[in-house]
């Protein structure tokens, strides 16, 4: 059974002006997501700036999110690392905190082979009992790509590896994965501009940046599709294209934090080395938000 179906938000980690995690704002954002029918919360992923959280902060955010959600929707915790032992540690702690599942990114910098990737993910999976979604994003991992054959083998050979977040931007590879998987792999789009195409080939949903500011709309793209209202789902997808483009005009999560702050959602500042948006891109983002009806 899938951890979730539909739109899961890759939630931001709000920061105070001094750079500390803003848990009060975090609680408000979680409640906003649940009230607007987000199907799952993915905490401490790329959008949550996990790479600049200390291990203590990382785990504190997971524990806080699990406690705040209180079982109302699934919580998937990002616990990946380029060090297998570190990923095992974070994964075990997330499981102990009550996370419903894990999102484990491809190791970065090391440039593992397909053999190394299989061993890495299997060791993590064997250390926990909760289900795992692999996170394939070559653009952030030095070009390392989990090949479709490797993904399918991992899901077939390791019971609690159940799916993948595909952020490869390679639709041909995605189609090959779905052909090989034969329904054995839960696949989530990692790109908000490709939700409907992913669903059309059997995808389970999206792990979404857009959902931070438009959770109901992103949920509806998926829900309409699954209800057989594919024309309406496609209309909603296309309606969001300009805004999605603006949300990725600079590296994530720079624009989405800007968008949340424009909406008064207290996302706060970014942790270095990320910096605030360039003025020209910020102006385009604000206009896209107005065109979408958020401002």
Residue 75 has phi, psi (to 5 degrees) of -115, 125
- pLDDT for the residue numbered 61: 98
- Model pTM above 0.95: yes
The mean pLDDT value for 201-225 works out to 98
Q: What is the CATH number of domain 6-227?
A: 3.20.20.70
d(CA 3, CA 140): 24
d(CA 158, CA 127): 12
- pLDDT for the residue numbered 78: 98
Q: Catalytic residue positions? A: 135, 165
Residue 130 has phi, psi (to 5 degrees) of -75, 160
- pLDDT for the residue numbered 164: 98
Residue 98 contacts by C-beta under 8 Å, 6 or more apart in sequence? 66, 67, 75
- Percent of the chain residues past pLDDT 70, beyond the cut: 100
- pLDDT for the residue numbered 273: 96
- pLDDT for the residue numbered 195: 98
- The answer, yes or no, to whether residue 249 has pLDDT greater than 80, is yes
Residue 150 in tokens: 């490797």
- pLDDT for the residue numbered 141: 87
Pairing between β-strand 161-166 and β-strand 186-189 as defined by DSSP bridges: parallel
The mean pLDDT value for 265-279 works out to 96
Residue 57 burial (10 A CB sphere; 0-12, 13-18, 19+): middle
- The answer, yes or no, to whether residue 175 has pLDDT greater than 90, is yes
- Burial code (b: 16+ CB inside 10 Å, e: under 16) for 106-137 equals bbbeeebeeeebbebbbebbeebebbbbbbbb
d(CA 286, CA 32): 21
The mean pLDDT value for 228-241 works out to 98
d(CA 237, CA 222): 9
All structural domains of the chain with their residue ranges: 6-227
- Contact yes or no for 186/82 (Cβ under 8 A): no
Residue 95 contacts by C-beta under 8 Å, 6 or more apart in sequence? 102, 128, 129, 130
- The answer, yes or no, to whether residue 1 has pLDDT greater than 80, is no
The mean pLDDT value for 244-258 works out to 98
pLDDT band at 187 (very low <50, low <70, confident <90, very high): very high
The mean pLDDT value for 117-123 works out to 98
3-state secondary structure of 158: coil
- The answer, yes or no, to whether residue 2 has pLDDT greater than 90, is no
Measured CA distances, 240 to 55, 195, 258, 264, 293 (Å) = 35, 11, 17, 21, 10
- Contact yes or no for 159/126 (Cβ under 8 A): no
- pLDDT for the residue numbered 265: 96
Which sign does the torsion angle of CA 180, 181, 187, 193 carry? Answer: positive
Please write the tens of the pLDDT for every residue from 254-265: 999 999 999 999
Q: Mean pLDDT across the chain, nearest whole number?
A: 97
Backbone dihedral region for residue 142 (phi beyond 0: left; psi -120 to 50: alpha; all else: beta):
left
pLDDT band at 270 (very low <50, low <70, confident <90, very high): very high
Q: Cβ of 280: how many Cβ atoms within 10 Å?
A: 9
Which sign does the torsion angle of CA 250, 256, 257, 261 carry? Answer: positive
- The answer, yes or no, to whether residue 156 has pLDDT greater than 90, is yes
pLDDT band at 73 (very low <50, low <70, confident <90, very high): very high
The mean pLDDT value for 26-35 works out to 98
Residue 264 contacts by C-beta under 8 Å, 6 or more apart in sequence? none
> What are the E-state strand segments in 209-295?
none
The mean pLDDT value for 5-27 works out to 97
């Amino acid at each position: 059974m899938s951890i979730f179906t539909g739109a899961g938000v890759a939630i931001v980690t709000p920061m105070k002006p001094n750079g500390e995690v803003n848990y009060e704002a975090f609680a408000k954002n979680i409640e906003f997501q649940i009230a607007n029918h987000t199907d799952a919360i993915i905490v401490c992923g790329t959008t949550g700036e996990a790479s600049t959280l200390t291990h203590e902060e990382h785990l504190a955010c997971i524990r806080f999110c699990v406690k705040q959600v209180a079982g109302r929707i699934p919580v998937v915790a990002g616990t990946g690392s380029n060090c297998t032992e570190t990923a095992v540690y974070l994964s075990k702690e997330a499981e102990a905190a009550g996370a419903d599942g894990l999102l484990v990114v491809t190791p970065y910098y090391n440039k593992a082979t397909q053999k190394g990737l299989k061993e890495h993910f299997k060791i993590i999976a064997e250390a926990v009992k909760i289900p795992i979604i692999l996170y394939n994003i070559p653009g952030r991992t030095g070009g390392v790509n989990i090949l479709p054959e490797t993904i399918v083998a991992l899901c077939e050979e390791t019971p609690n590896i159940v799916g993948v977040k595909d952020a490869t931007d390679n639709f041909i590879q995605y189609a090959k994965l779905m052909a090989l998987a034969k329904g054995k792999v839960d696949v989530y789009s990692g790109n908000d501009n490709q939700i409907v195409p992913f669903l059309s080939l059997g995808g389970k949903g999206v792990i979404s940046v857009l959902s931070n500011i438009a959770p109901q709309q992103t949920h509806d793209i998926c829900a309409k599709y699954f209800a057989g209202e594919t024309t309406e789902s496609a209309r909603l997808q296309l309606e969001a294209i300009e805004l999605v483009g603006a949300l990725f005009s600079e590296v994530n999560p720079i624009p989405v934090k800007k968008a949340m702050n424009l909406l008064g959602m207290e996302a706060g500042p970014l942790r270095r080395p990320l910096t605030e948006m360039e003025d020209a891109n910020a102006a385009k983002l604000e206009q896209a938000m107005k065109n979408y009806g958020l401002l």
